[in-house]
Each structure stands twice: as C-alpha cells, then as structure tokens.
Amino acid sequence: MKELDVMEIEAAVAELCLPTNCVLNEDIRKALKQAKASEESAQGLEVLDSLLKNAEIAAEQSIPICQDTGMAVLFVEIGQDLHIVGGSLTEALNAGIRQGYTKGYLRKSVVADPFLRVNTGDNTPAVIHYDMVPGDKLKLTLAPKGFGSENMGALKMLKPADGVEGVLDFVVATVDKAGANPCPPVIVGVGIGGTMEKAALLAKKALLREVGSGHPEQFYAELEHKLLQRINNLGIGPQGYGGRTTALAVHIEVFPTHIAGLPVAVNLNCHAARHRTIVLEGKEALG
C-alpha cells in the first residue's frame, strides 16, 4: 500500500493558490476571443478586450485576476488504496489554504459565523468535497469561488411533469434575474437530478468542465446548446452593458433521481472560472 504524508498535501495546496487566482485558464481565454467574433455591441467588445488584457496583466505581474479571490472550494478524490499518514487530511488541506492565501497576498474573504461575521483572517475553512475512487492517488482540484456570481445561483425542486421545458425555463430565468451581478460573460453550471444537495453539487462540478467541451451524451449536448442560445438572446451582454455574449458556456451534469422529483440547480461563475488540478502519488510503504 502506498503512503502519502499530509505535509506533502499541505504544501501542494499552498502552491496551488497563487497560480489558480492569477492565471486565467486557456479554455476561457479562447472562449473570450471567440466571443469577440459574434459580439455586436461596441461596449461589449470593449469589455471582452479588457478582460483579455486583464488576464495578461494578472499573469505577468502575479496579481489576482479579480480582487474577490473567493471562498476556497476543494474537490478531493482519494484512491481507496492510498494510506494518508502524518495527521488529519482536512486539517492539512485547510493549512495549505491558510498558507497559500497569506503568502500569496490573496484576499481573506471568509467570516467565521454567518451572523456574527468576524473574518477568520486566513480564508479558512475551505469547503471540501471528498470522493472515494479506485486507485492509489490523490487528486486535488482547487476552485476558489467569488460571491458576485455565487450569490446569483438558485435551486428548485421541479415536478417530473415540468420536464425539459420546465428545467430550461428555470435556468434561463435564473440567468435573466442575475443580470449584470455575476459579471457576465458567465459560465452556467446546471445540475439535474439526485436529491436537493446532489443537484447543487452537480451544478458546482459542472463549472469545472473545460469550456467548449460539450456533454458526452448528445441529448444533453443539444440541451446545453439550446440553453446557451436562449441565454445569449437575453441581450444582457458583457458586464450587463447590452450585447450578444451573456454566457460563454452552459454545462449540464445529471444523476439518477427519485420517481417523484426533478431537482435542478444553477451555479453561475464569472469569466475568471478559476480551477486547477494536481495529482499526488504516494510512496511505497516500508514493510
């Protein structure tokens, strides 16, 4: 059995924080450039150009794309044959965030209690999602989430009879209502099925998919396309100034659900759409 020390995990998380916040992913850069071709509004084009220029400055100078460096969300896939040693995994992940956000001069945006609202001072705790998977590796995805877009998400427990149209209408209405607030152009994550919390998690995970990659199943790929078209017909445009580009992509994730339900969740992301993944391998344990 392979072993992985929590110290190594902490260091890896700490190292992820700065590049995740300062370097715009290539798929988004490509999507912004593509959007320029179809954008008709002069103000919209100006915004798309500014976001590309912003990405250049952020990467060159190692300063965050956006000042809201988010609440740290971590997706952790643990190979079931891997043994984690040296302490608590959750504590190590939070220690990595603490170190990365402090040493990286990233903004500390977390309050310890939703009502008392005292800043924890180090951007912990992170929101951590664990998954057990086959194998002996540890896969970590850091996806810091800004709240300009997070605040605009929504969830609804639809009736099965509401069907495809009910789901599409709810997704479009959510983006419509969000308007300029989530800093369009946005990425729209849609989770359909499961239970209430499963739908929300699917919507969040949908934001991790590469922009421009359609759903592997044709039925859902077509729904994504249809939704993107309807959303871009809203006219909200870059930053809400009016234009063709309200969303860069719509990603749907689905899961089996109950005979009586049709849960749907929408998680919006701004163009920064930060996420970065690393895979850690353990060392052979000494017999």
Partner 1 sequence: MRVFTPLSEQTIGSLKCGSNVLLNGIIYTARDAAHKRMVEALAAGEDLPFKPEGQVIYFVGPTPAPPGRIIGSAGPTTSGRMDAYSPILLEKGLRGLIGKGPLSAEVLQVIKETGSVYFGAIGGAGALLSSCIKKVEVLAYPELGPEAIHKLEVEDLPAIVLVDCYGNNLYELGRAKYQLT
Residues that bind partner 1 (CB under 8 A): 40-41, 43, 46-47, 50-51, 53-55, 57-58, 61-69, 105-108, 119, 148, 151, 179-181, 183, 233-237, 239-244, 270-272
Cβ proximity to partner 1, 160 vs 235, nearer residue: 235
CB of 181 to partner 1, least distance (A): 4
Cβ proximity to partner 1, 40 vs 81, nearer residue: 40
d(C-alpha 205, C-alpha 186), whole Å: 15
Of the CA atoms within 13 Å of residue 270, those in its CB half-sphere come to: 25
CB of 59 to partner 1, least distance (A): 9
Q: Which helix (H) or strand (E) holds 71?
A: none
Contact between residue 108 and residue 53 where contact means Cβ atoms under 8 Å apart: no
Q: Show Cβ contacts of residue 57 under 8 Å, excluding neighbours closer than 6 positions.
A: 63
Cβ proximity to partner 1, 42 vs 196, nearer residue: 42
Burial (CB count within 10 angstroms: exposed 0-12, middle 13-18, buried 19+), residue 273: buried
Query: Mind giving me the DSSP string for 176-190?
Result: HHHTTTT-SSEEEEE
CB of 106 to partner 1, least distance (A): 6
CB of 64 to partner 1, least distance (A): 4
Cβ proximity to partner 1, 121 vs 160, nearer residue: 121
CB of 232 to partner 1, least distance (A): 9
Cβ proximity to partner 1, 5 vs 176, nearer residue: 176
